[in-house]
Homo-oligomer: A and B are copies of this chain.
């Protein structure tokens, strides 16, 4: 899908710049989805022109940052053991998921403003699939409800995670309580 390493290949300093830019973009956009490219360049310790040399448009930059965040999230979540009892696996998955979601909530907003909905969905494929498989497995095991469409269950879990992120940002939920609250909520949601 991506160009794995097409073209003449980049010089080492260029790679470094790009990495710093993407990282800065992730940071800034994660706290303000409207962060200006200008500020991102500054935060990356790089000239504005350098940034434009690598990312022709703001949209490209946002996409790169978003993709990177998803990659990082996937790395975290794919380390979790999801075998055995699906209910317990879900608890383990949620314990890490809420943080991943919370960290990049604003970044997602930025992406939604700039990328077509289909692209966003595409990039989300992995986490969605992970959750879908787990829920399906739970349904097969008879521990999760089957009276609602699986797609809905998957998505509503995501909405609850985003909800928790919002509540934390608004100061109405303590980060320390998040895992427990989210888990209890989701677990009963998955039960009739």
Chain A residues at the B interface, C-beta cutoff of 8 Å: 117, 145, 147-149, 151-152, 155-156, 158-160, 162-163, 166-167, 170, 172-173, 181, 184-185, 188-189, 191-192
Query: Are A117 and B159 CB-contacts (below 8 A) given A148-B184, A188-B189, A191-B188?
Result: no
Q: Contact between A166 and B159 (Cβ–Cβ < 8 Å)?
A: yes
Which partner residue on chain B sits nearest A109 by CB separation? B109
Interface of A is mostly: helix
Which of A159, A170, A172 counts the most B-chain CB atoms under 10 A from its CB? A159
Which of A160, A163, A167, A173 counts the most B-chain CB atoms under 10 A from its CB? A163
Which partner residue on chain B sits nearest A162 by CB separation? B159
Which partner residue on chain B sits nearest A189 by CB separation? B189
In the bound complex, what is the Cα–Cα distance between A140 and B4 (angstroms)?
Answer: 60
Contact residues in B for A149 (Cβ distance below 8 Å) = 181
Contact residues in B for A192 (Cβ distance below 8 Å) = 188
Contact residues in B for A152 (Cβ distance below 8 Å) = 167, 172-173, 181, 185
Q: Contact between A185 and B181 (Cβ–Cβ < 8 Å)?
A: no
* A52 CB to nearest B CB, Å: 25
Cβ-neighbour of A160 out of B151, B160, B188 (below 8 A): B160
Which partner residue on chain B sits nearest A159 by CB separation? B163
In the bound complex, what is the Cα–Cα distance between A166 and B166 (angstroms)?
Answer: 16
